[in-house]
């Protein structure tokens, strides 16, 4: 969301004509960040429905760079590093070492393993023995086909994530879960982040603008269809 707000603020505003025609307000550079933010928000909302004994953390600034973990979940079933990927209408093919999105290879498995290893290291340094499993939650895909299961990560549809987590066999006792959750909840565990307080509000304004532009385009499409029908009516057989 912060990236969307930052990049969109640097983009030139749409002209009155572009607004009237419903031209999309997002630049090509902003679109993937916007889609990703929507996906993370959807998965974050779903994780709010986890059963008692589970805790979820979101946008965790792990490591020393600019990367973060989309969602970090801890419960009786272990620790799960959840990476959200939003691909509306896409076909995903899953192999042992790679994921293809509409035929294009993506580094999702490698990145998921890296994030999990960072969290695993944090737990070990804190003296907490807990298995860490990377998970890729896919939002909006038309097809999710597994040819060979990945070596370490699990790929699951976002709408099935909470059920899948809830069905994991218990591997941690309550004390270990509590200690891991306390570690994750401590700001000192993670890289300091200066977040603008109005990010959610500004992102919401961008989202409303995107939705408004979509409605305008739909209106123009409907008007065009009605015009074609009006022209064709006199020539239709009676």
pLDDT tens, position by position, 191-237: 887 766 788 899 899 989 999 988 988 888 888 877 777 776 676 66
* Residue 238 pLDDT > 70: no
Q: What is the pLDDT of residue 2?
A: 87
Q: How confident is the model at residue 125 (pLDDT cuts 50, 70, 90)?
A: very high
| Rg, Å, the chain Cα set | 22
Q: What is the pLDDT of residue 168?
A: 95
CA dihedral 102, 106, 112, 117 (to 10 degrees): 160
**142-158 per-position pLDDT tens digit:** 999 999 999 899 999 99
Report pLDDT digits (tens) over 28-63.
889 998 999 999 999 999 999 999 999 999 999 987
* Domains of the chain by start residue, with CATH: 43-187 (3.40.1350)
- Token pair, residue 124, equals 């070990």
Q: What is the pLDDT of residue 63?
A: 74
Structure tokens, 172: 């941690």
What is the DSSP annotation of 137-192?
EEES-SEEEESS--SS-EEEEGGGHHHHHHTSPP-S-HHHHHHHHHHHH-GGGS--
What is the predicted pLDDT for the residue at 44?
94
> What confidence tens digit (pLDDT) does each residue in 81-90 have?
999 999 999 9
Token representation of residue 128:
């907490």
pLDDT of residue 127: 97
In the chain, % of residues over pLDDT 70: 95
- Residue 81: closest CA among 90, 71, 91: 71
pLDDT of 236 reads 63
C-beta of residue 122 within 8 angstroms of C-beta of residue 68? no
CA-to-CA separations, 142 to 86, 99, 120, 194, in angstroms, rounded: 11, 15, 33, 37
Task: Check residue 193 and give its pLDDT.
Answer: 76
Q: Is residue 64 scored above 90 in pLDDT?
A: no
- Integer Cα distance of 68 and 62 in angstroms: 5
pLDDT band of residue 21 (cuts 50, 70, 90) is: confident
CA distance 163 to 204: 29
């Amino acid at each position: 969301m912060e990236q969307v707000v930052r990049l969109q603020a640097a983009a030139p505003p749409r002209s009155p004509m572009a607004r009237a025609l419903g031209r999309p307000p997002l630049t090509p550079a902003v679109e993937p960040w916007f889609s990703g933010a929507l996906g993370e928000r959807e998965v974050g909302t779903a994780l709010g429905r986890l059963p008692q004994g589970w805790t979820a953390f979101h946008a965790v600034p792990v490591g020393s760079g600019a990367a973060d973990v989309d969602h970090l979940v801890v419960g009786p079933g272990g620790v799960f590093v959840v990476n959200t990927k939003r691909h509306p209408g896409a076909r995903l093919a899953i192999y042992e070492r790679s994921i293809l999105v509409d035929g294009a290879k993506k580094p999702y498995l490698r990145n998921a393993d890296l994030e999990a290893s960072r969290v695993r290291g944090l737990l070990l340094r804190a003296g907490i023995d807990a298995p860490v499993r990377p998970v890729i939650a896919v939002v909006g895909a038309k097809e999710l086909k597994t040819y060979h299961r990945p070596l370490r990560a699990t790929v699951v549809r976002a709408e099935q994530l909470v059920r899948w987590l809830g069905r994991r066999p218990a591997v941690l006792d309550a004390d270990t879960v509590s200690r891991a959750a306390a570690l994750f909840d401590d700001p000192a565990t993670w890289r300091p982040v200066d977040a603008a307080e109005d990010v959610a509000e500004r992102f919401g304004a961008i989202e409303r603008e995107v939705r408004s532009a979509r409605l305008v385009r739909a209106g123009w499409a409907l008007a065009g269809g009605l015009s074609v029908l009006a022209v064709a009516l006199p020539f239709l057989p009676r």
